[in-house]
C-alpha cells in the first residue's frame, strides 16, 4: 500500500497487529457507548489542577474520533516495517519510551503556549497519537525515498509521499493536534538519537517481553504470505535502493514475458518462438534439451561440434554473419562482464552476436544451461542483468 519494504500484510508484526485490532475495537465500543467517553478525555486541566493522573494513561491510549483512529491505523500499518527490522521488543521499547517522553512534552508545551500567548490549553486530542508521530523520525531518516512520478514536471512523487499526506491529514483533524505532533516529533528525535542515554532508561523489560511472547504473540501472529516474491531489508540505504531496483527489473521482465505469452496465444503462427518454453522453473531446468538420437552401429561419424563462440572464420561461416572483433575488445568485454553485468544497448559499436556469445558464456560459467541462457537473453533483449535476475529467481 505504502512502502514496499518487506512482504505485505502483518507478517512478523504481532505488536502492530495487536495495536490495530485492540485500539480500533475500543474506539468502536466507545462510539457505541458514549456515556463512557468522559473517562478517556485527555484533559490537561484536570491532570495539573485536580491531580487526576489516571487521565494521563486513559486519555493517551484510545482515540475518541473515528477519523483520528482511521489515520493513525494507516500509519501504524505502514510503520510495521520498523517492527520487522528492529524486532518486536525494540519496537515496543521505542513506543514505550516516546509515550513517556511525549507525556512530559505535552505538559511543557502547553505551559509554554500559555506563557507566550496567555491562552490555557485544557483538552488535547485523545489517543496513541504522539508515539505515532514520533515514528516519522526514523521513517524520514532510515527509509529510502524511491521516485515514482512527477506532477507538472517539477513536483516529485515518491514512495513515501502518501505516508506524509496521511500524517498531514491527521495533523489538521483538530486545532491542537499540532501540539501533539510537535511533542511526538521531539520525543522521537530524542529517543532515536539516544540523547541522555534514554534508550537505556526507557525500554521494555525482558520479563514483560517474555510474557507477551508466550501469551499475546500466538494470538496476533499471522501466517507467512504466499504468492509474492520475497524481498529482504538491507541494512543501509544503498542496499535497500539496490533491492528496490532489482525488484522493479524483475517485475518488468515478468510483464514482458506475460505480454509475449498473451501475444503468442492470440496470434499463433507456425515457425515462431515457443514462448511457453521460456524461463522454465528450476525443477524443469535441463529437461528441455532434445533427446539423443540412436546412432547406427555401422556409422563412425564423429559427434557434431557445438557452434563456436569466438570470432574465428568458422564461427562466422556457421552463423552467416561476417564480422570481426579484435582481441583487445574481447578482453575488455570479458573484464567488464566480470565486474558488472552490461547490456547490449551500452555498447553500440560492438556486433551483437559476439557480445551475446560472451553473455551466454558468462551465464554458463555461473551454472545455467546453454539453452536457458539463450532463451533468457532473447526474452530480455540481450540484457544480461535482467536475464541473470530472472534465472536466479526461477
Integer Cα distance of 373 and 363 in angstroms: 6
3-state DSSP call for residue 260? helix
| Mean per-residue pLDDT, 354-369 | 80
Look up residue 382 and give its DSSP letter.
T
Question: Mind listing the pLDDT tens digit for each residue in 189-200?
Answer: 999 999 999 999
Q: Which CATH number fits domain 14-144+158-220: 1.10.246, 3.40.630, 1.20.1540, 1.10.10?
A: 1.20.1540
Lowest mean pLDDT among 82-96, 308-322, 371-385: 308-322
CA 96 from centre of chain: 26
Integer Cα distance of 74 and 70 in angstroms: 6
Flag whether pLDDT at 117 surpasses 50: yes
Flag whether pLDDT at 5 surpasses 80: no
3-state DSSP call for residue 148? strand
Torsion of CA 128, 134, 138, 139, to 10 degrees: 70
Say what the pLDDT of residue 266 is.
58
Question: Mind listing the pLDDT tens digit for each residue in 314-353?
Answer: 333 333 333 333 443 443 344 444 444 444 444 344 444 5
Say what the pLDDT of residue 311 is.
43
Flag whether pLDDT at 76 surpasses 70: yes
Q: What is the CA radius of gyration of the chain?
A: 31
Question: Mind listing the pLDDT tens digit for each residue in 120-141?
Answer: 999 999 999 999 999 999 999 9
Lowest mean pLDDT among 110-124, 247-261, 274-288: 274-288
Strands 123-124 and 155-158 come out as: unpaired
Integer Cα distance of 394 and 61 in angstroms: 47
Amino acid at each position: 500500500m505504502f512502502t514496499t519494504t518487506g512482504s505485505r500484510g502483518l507478517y512478523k508484526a504481532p505488536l502492530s497487529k495487536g495495536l490495530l485490532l485492540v485500539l480500533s475495537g475500543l474506539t468502536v465500543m466507545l462510539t457505541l457507548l458514549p456515556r463512557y467517553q468522559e473517562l478517556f478525555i485527555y484533559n490537561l486541566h484536570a491532570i495539573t489542577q485536580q491531580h487526576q493522573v489516571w487521565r494521563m494513561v486513559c486519555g493517551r491510549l484510545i482515540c475518541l474520533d473515528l477519523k483520528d483512529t482511521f489515520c493513525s491505523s494507516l500509519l501504524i500499518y505502514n510503520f510495521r516495517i520498523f517492527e520487522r527490522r528492529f524486532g518486536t521488543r525494540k519496537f515496543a521499547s521505542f513506543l514505550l519510551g516516546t509515550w513517556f517522553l511525549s507525556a512530559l512534552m505535552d505538559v511543557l508545551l502547553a505551559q509554554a503556549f500559555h506563557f507566550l500567548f496567555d491562552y490555557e490549553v485544557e483538552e488535547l486530542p485523545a489517543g496513541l497519537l504522539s508515539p505515532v508521530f514520533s515514528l516519522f523520525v526514523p521513517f524520514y531518516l532510515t527509509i529510502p525515498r524511491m521516485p515514482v512520478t512527477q506532477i507538472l514536471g517539477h513536483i516529485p512523487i515518491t514512495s513515501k509521499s502518501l505516508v506524509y499526506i496521511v500524517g498531514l491529514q491527521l495533523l489538521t483533524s483538530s486545532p491542537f493536534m499540532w501540539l501533539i505532533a510537535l511533542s511526538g516529533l521531539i520525543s522521537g528525535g530524542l529517543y532515536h538519537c539516544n540523547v541522555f542515554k534514554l534508550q537505556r532508561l526507557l525500554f521494555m523489560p525482558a520479563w514483560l517481553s517474555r510474557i507477551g511472547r508466550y501469551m499475546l504473540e500466538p494470538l496476533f501472529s499471522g501466517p507467512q504470505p504466499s504468492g509474492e516474491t520475497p524481498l529482504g531489508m538491507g541494512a543501509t540505504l544503498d542496499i535497500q535502493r539496490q533491492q528496490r531496483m532489482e525488484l522493479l527489473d524483475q517485475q518488468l521482465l515478468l510483464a514482458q514475458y506475460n505480454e509475449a505469452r498473451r501475444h503468442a496465444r492470440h496470434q499463433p503462427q507456425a515457425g515462431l518462438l515457443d514462448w511457453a518454453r521460456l524461463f522454465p522453473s528450476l525443477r524443469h531446468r535441463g529437461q528441455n534439451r532434445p533427446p539423443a538420437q540412436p546412432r547406427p552401429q555401422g556409422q563412425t561419424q564423429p559427434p557434431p561440434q557445438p557452434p563456436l563462440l569466438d570470432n574465428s572464420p568458422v564461427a562466422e561461416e556457421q552463423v552467416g554473419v561476417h564480422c570481426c572483433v579484435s582481441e583487445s575488445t574481447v578482453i575488455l568485454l570479458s573484464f567488464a562482464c566480470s565486474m558488472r553485468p552490461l547490456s547490449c544497448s551500452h555498447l553500440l559499436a560492438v556486433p551483437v552476436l559476439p557480445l551475446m556469445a560472451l553473455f551466454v558464456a558468462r551465464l554458463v560459467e555461473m551454472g545455467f544451461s546453454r539453452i536457458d541462457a539463450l532463451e533468457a537473453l532473447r526474452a530480455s533483449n540481450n540484457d544480461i542483468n535482467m536475464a541473470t535476475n530472472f534465472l536466479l529467481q526461477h
